Amino acid sequence: MTTLVEHGEDDGVGALYRPLLETYLSGVFVLLGGDEAVEVLGRGLLHITHEIDVALGLAEREDRPDEAKRLDVSDYKGKTGLVQRVDQLLAEQNDEYRGWATGIHRHHYRVLSLYDAHGGAGCLHRYLVTSPDGPVVQSARGTPEIAILYLQHAIALVTGLAGLWGVRAGQEVSELVDVEQRWREMQPEEWGC
């Protein structure tokens, strides 16, 4: 992500930030949900692995293992998703965190989904310009300020989750506490941070 920002390829930062958010939420889920969370994520992995095998012609849809259960990122068709499970676990730790994962999902993850995964025309509208001759596709660089914001959030999430795991494992985490600050000090001035 840092390299993309350095080279002005701002659109790619969001494409990398979205899966990082999902990984972060999965990490918090396992950290706070323990064995049950590991089991839920394992069933989801079986589900998606089977979907890939079907797409590659290596398996038939009806051969899905019984234990393979899809876990969506958010609630879908009446099923509780990863975001809601993380919110519940966070609220059990401290009520001040109630709704935090839902907020991250709403204000970051869903926006990025529109731009790089599920948006249809949303994936392209930044690249289409109307000209007298009709629509023209042009190269667009994205928004540096937003890319840097995503990068800052990504670093905070990664160092925060690593710190939580370290504390849970009884490890010294003082080095992680300074990582984000050191990164800010290293940013080129032209990034405007």
Dump strand ranges (E) for the chain.
128-131, 134-137
Q: pLDDT confidence of 193, banded at 50, 70, 90?
A: very low
User: Which residue type does 108 have?
Assistant: H
Q: Encode pLDDT of 62-73 as tens digits.
A: 999 999 998 888
Please report, for residues 3, 111, 187, the alpha-carbon distance to residue 71 in angstroms, rounded to integers and kept in the order given.
32, 20, 37
User: Which residue type does 68 have?
Assistant: A
Residue 30 pLDDT > 80: yes
Q: pLDDT confidence of 142, banded at 50, 70, 90?
A: low
pLDDT for 141: 60
- Which span out of 60-64, 134-138, 150-154, 163-167 was modeled with the highest average pLDDT? 60-64
Q: pLDDT confidence of 191, banded at 50, 70, 90?
A: low
Contact 103, 90 (CB under 8 A): no
Contacts of residue 143, defined as CB under 8 A and 6 or more positions apart, other chains included, come to: 10
Q: Find the largest Cα–Cα distance for the chain.
A: 65
Task: Report which DSSP code applies to 170.
Answer: T
Contact 48, 22 (CB under 8 A): no
